[in-house]
């Protein structure tokens, strides 16, 4: 069997001008070096970029159709209309749902019985405001007269037109790219920062943030035009923080994202809601953005991947600790099931990917007859990281096996939505439906066209690459003196740079040494605790998912190795601990 390609270590480029500016603002050399090697908003000072305040958020009034949407919602509130909330089934959609519900009911005082909730079932109804979801809305009692979408709707003109014919207005809030044929014309309003006529300066916000901005504008309008005193919508930023990190939008080039994640993390740390208090046993102390991205996000997403996503929304909106605890136990069982399914799917996908890699393909299109669309996105991300290539995993649609649904994930330099649009334009009829953005996309094709599509996808990927080689990469911040790897240094580093996320990843450093101890860890016996001697100094780190109980050890005591590791700080029984995690290890050739 062909082996996985070895990842190349690539050092981040340091912007000398930005590094000098950071030092001038008082950052120490290590912090300045890290900041200067990440993409940032150059018009912002370094300190402002690292810790932006809520008052620096861009105004929602620069969003297109915002005033029209606000007026319609205010009319609905005043008239006591039934308002429907329709959102995506992923974590961004779930947190959007929680934001809209809390804003309407808890902050604006709309009766809970006049708010209806709709989330498409990923496996049975597909993505977005689908035909099936529209049919449910029309059959509902009481039927809403206004629908507010979040994290979808931009590509759903047909269903929006259907609802309009039945006298239901639809306000779309979304952050996905607008289709080439434009916004849905039948929508009452389309509030999106990605519209070509948008004056909102930040196209990088998540769907939950767009929903929050709309409701913030509604609250502001009511406060300014009535004598009402309403709570601040800032209390909903805990939801927005989770959705923003989980949706992998930039934490480097968006001051809005950094500001709301920083503020939201404080709310979560304080345990302001029963849902966050129920998660205390699984979260780090202090809370980190890694908790949002790798613990809370996957837990919530498991519900949308295997069920209807209402379990996660109910958990977020739990009214007391007992209810939250019951929901989190349900989600944890479901997440364990998700992991089991995902492991099996990933292994099957890996076997096909290895064959295509051996054929020197620059893209990977994988078809699994017995796949599970709910976990394909996660598996595609794993395969993408292993092979350093854009990946699409297909399986038959649950309701129609002649249609294949696909989850796509991409690498830097390949824009997935542009690639799919090129295919749609160049080969009409090949795609049934598609949508997404640069890094991720969803699509459906006819089963009999899978071979054609695979060929076309490889063609457009090669065109975008324009001769550039592809392959797995591990990004490094260079070397860090072994003497600097201490609790005070790493604590300051982490606290000064949080939150981490896409384009603003945790610092990772290179180190060379000799293995002097190995210990298998974990219930699954798949992790290693690696002890190294580096310049006669002891260094220890954990290497997760690095070994298989049924296979030989990947390394042995006495091996000279080069590693890339992330230093982290954890609190254990009230005591700070240094916890270094290996993200790449290769035997060092002397």
Q: Which of 215, 239, 271 is the last residue of a domain?
A: 271
Hey, what long-range contacts does 107-110 have (CB within 8 A, 24 or more apart)?
107/215, 107/219, 107/230, 107/231, 107/233, 107/235, 107/236, 108/77, 108/215, 108/218, 108/219, 108/222, 108/230, 109/230, 110/77, 110/83
Measured between alpha carbons, how far is 245 from 254 in angstroms, rounded to an integer?
A: 12
Q: Residue range 517-529: average pLDDT?
A: 92
Task: State residue 2's pLDDT score.
Answer: 58
The percentage of the chain sitting over the pLDDT mark of 70, rounded to a whole number, equals 99
CA angle 386, 389, 394 (to 5 degrees): 90
Same domain, 154 and 234: yes
Tokens of residue 528, six digits: 């290693």
Q: Quick one: 459 and 482 in the same domain? A: no
Q: Kindly state whether residues 434 and 456 are assigned to the same domain.
A: yes
pLDDT bracket for residue 438 (50, 70, 90):
confident
Is residue 322, in this structure, part of any structural domain at all? no
Give tens-digit pLDDT for 31-55: 999 999 999 866 778 888 898 899 9
Does residue 399 carry a pLDDT above 90? no
Residue 415 lies in a domain: yes
Residue 98 has pLDDT above 60, yes or no: yes
Q: Are residues 247 and 99 in the same domain?
A: yes
| Stretch among 294-308, 471-485, 513-527 having the lowest mean pLDDT | 294-308
Say if residue 322's pLDDT is above 90: yes
16 band by pLDDT with thresholds 50, 70 and 90: very high
Give me the pLDDT at residue 436, please: 83
Decide if 328 is inside a domain. no
Same domain, yes or no, for 465 and 490? Answer: no
3-class DSSP assignment, residue 173 = strand
In this structure, are 481 and 468 located in the same domain? no
Does one domain contain both 132 and 232? yes
Residue 334 included in any domain: no
Whole-number pLDDT of residue 1: 43
- Comparing 348-357, 370-379, 421-430, 492-501, the range with the smallest average pLDDT is 370-379
Alpha carbon distance 193, 563 (integer Å): 41
Q: How long, in residues, is the chain?
A: 590
CATH number (domain holding residue 526) = 2.40.50.460
Does residue 427 fall inside a structural domain?
A: yes
- Any domain includes 64: yes
Residues 523 and 558 in one domain: yes
- Written as one string, the DSSP assignment of 143-168 is PPSEEEEES--TT-HHHHHHHHHTT-
Q: Is 360 left (phi over 0), alpha (psi -120 to 50) or beta?
A: left
Q: Name which of 418-422, 448-452, 569-573 the model is least confident about.
A: 569-573
Whether residue 231 is predicted with pLDDT greater than 80 in this model: the reply is yes
* Number of domains forming the structure of the chain: 3
The CATH number of whichever domain residue 375 belongs to comes to 3.10.310.30
Q: Is there a single domain that holds both residue 463 and residue 483?
A: no
Q: How far apart are CA 37 and CA 18, in angstroms?
A: 9
429 shares its domain with 553: no
Query: Residue 275 pLDDT more than 90?
Result: yes
Whether pLDDT at 269 is above 80: yes
Share of the chain above pLDDT 90, in %: 82
Note whether 67 and 153 are same-domain residues.
Answer: yes
**pLDDT, tens digit, 9 for 90 and up, residues 189-200:** 999 999 999 999
Task: Please report the pLDDT score of residue 84 as a whole number.
Answer: 98
C-beta of residue 404 within 8 angstroms of C-beta of residue 397: yes
Rounded Cα gap, residues 389 and 369, in angstroms = 22
The string of pLDDT tens digits covering residues 310-321 is 899 999 999 999
CATH for 80: 3.90.1640.30
Is residue 341 pLDDT above 50, yes or no? yes
> Where would I find the beta strands (DSSP E) of 153-230?
169-173, 189-191
pLDDT per position as a tens digit, 557-590: 999 999 999 999 888 777 888 999 999 999 976 5
| Mean of all residue pLDDT scores within the chain | 93
The domain boundary, picked from 222, 243, 271, lies at 271
What is the pLDDT at residue 588? 75
* Residue 4 domain flag: no
Whether residues 523 and 460 share a domain: the answer is no
> Average of pLDDT values for 76-94?
96
Residue 59 has pLDDT above 80, yes or no: yes
**Residue 395 and residue 271: Cα distance in Å, rounded?**
40
310 contact partners, CB below 8 Å, separation of at least 6: 117, 119, 303
Residue 513 within a domain:
yes
| Of the residues 213, 240, 271, the one at which a domain ends | 271
Can you give the residue range of the structural domain that contains 487? 477-587
């Amino acid at each position: 069997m062909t082996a996985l390609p070895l990842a190349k270590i690539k050092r981040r480029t340091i912007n000398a001008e930005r590094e000098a500016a950071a030092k001038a603002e008082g950052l120490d050399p290590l912090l300045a070096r890290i900041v200067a090697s990440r993409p940032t908003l150059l018009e912002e000072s370094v300190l402002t970029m690292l810790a932006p305040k809520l008052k620096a958020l861009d105004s929602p009034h620069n969003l297109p159709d915002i005033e029209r949407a606000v007026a319609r919602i205010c009319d609905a509130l005043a008239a006591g209309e039934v308002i429907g909330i329709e959102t995506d089934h992923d974590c961004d959609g779930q947190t959007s749902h929680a934001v809209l519900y809390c804003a309407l009911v808890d902050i604006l005082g709309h009766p809970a019985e006049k708010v209806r909730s709709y989330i498409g079932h990923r496996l049975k109804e597909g993505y977005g405001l689908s035909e099936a979801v529209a049919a449910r809305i029309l059959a509902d009692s009481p039927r809403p007269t206004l629908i507010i979408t979040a994290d979808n709707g931009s590509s759903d003109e047909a269903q929006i037109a259907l609802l309009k014919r039945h006298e239901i207005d639809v306000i779309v809030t979304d952050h996905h790219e607008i289709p080439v044929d434009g916004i849905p014309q039948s929508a009452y309003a389309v509030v999106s920062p990605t519209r070509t006529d948008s004056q909102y300066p930040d196209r990088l916000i998540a769907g939950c943030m767009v929903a929050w901005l709309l409701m913030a504008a509604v609250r502001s309008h009511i406060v300014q035009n009535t004598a009402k005193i309403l709570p601040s919508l800032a209390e909903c930023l805990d939801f927005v923080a989770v959705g923003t990190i989980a949706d992998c939008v930039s934490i480097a080039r968006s001051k809005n994202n950094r500001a709301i994640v920083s503020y939201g993390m404080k709310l979560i740390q304080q345990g302001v809601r029963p849902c966050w208090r129920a998660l205390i046993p699984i979260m780090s102390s202090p809370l980190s953005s890694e908790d949002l991205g790798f613990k809370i996000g996957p837990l919530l997403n498991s519900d949308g991947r295997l069920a209807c996503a209402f379990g996660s929304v109910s958990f977020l909106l739990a009214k007391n600790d007992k209810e939250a605890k019951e929901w989190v136990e349900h989600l944890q069982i479901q997440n364990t099931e998700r992991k089991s399914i995902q492991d099996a799917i990933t292994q099957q996908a890996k076997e096909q990917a290895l064959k295509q890699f051996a054929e020197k393909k620059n893209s990977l299109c994988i078809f699994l007859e017995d796949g599970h669309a709910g976990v394909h996105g996660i598996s595609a991300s794993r395969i993408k990281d292993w092979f350093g290539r854009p990946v699409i995993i297909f399986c038959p649609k649950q309701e129609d096996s002649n249609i294949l649904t696909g989850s796509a994930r991409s690498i830097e330099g390949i824009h997935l939505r542009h690639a799919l649009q090129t295919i749609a334009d160049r080969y009409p009829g090949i795609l049934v439906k598609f949508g997404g953005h640069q890094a991720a996309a969803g699509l459906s094709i006819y089963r009999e066209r899978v071979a054609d599509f695979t060929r076309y996808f490889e063609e457009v990927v090669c065109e975008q690459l324009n001769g550039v080689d592809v392959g797995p990469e591990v990004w490094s911040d260079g070397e860090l003196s072994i003497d600097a790897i201490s609790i005070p240094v790493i604590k300051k580093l982490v606290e000064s740079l949080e939150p981490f996320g896409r384009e603003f990843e945790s610092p990772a450093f290179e180190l060379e040494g000799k293995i002097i101890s190995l210990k298998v860890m974990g219930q699954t016996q798949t992790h290693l605790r690696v002890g190294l001697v580096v310049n006669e100094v002891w260094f220890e780190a954990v290497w997760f998912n690095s070994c298989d109980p049924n296979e030989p050890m990947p390394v042995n005591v006495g091996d000279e190795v080069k590693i890339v590791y992330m230093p982290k700080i954890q609190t254990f029984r009230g005591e700070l601990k240094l916890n270094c995690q290996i993200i790449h290890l290769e035997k060092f050739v002397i």
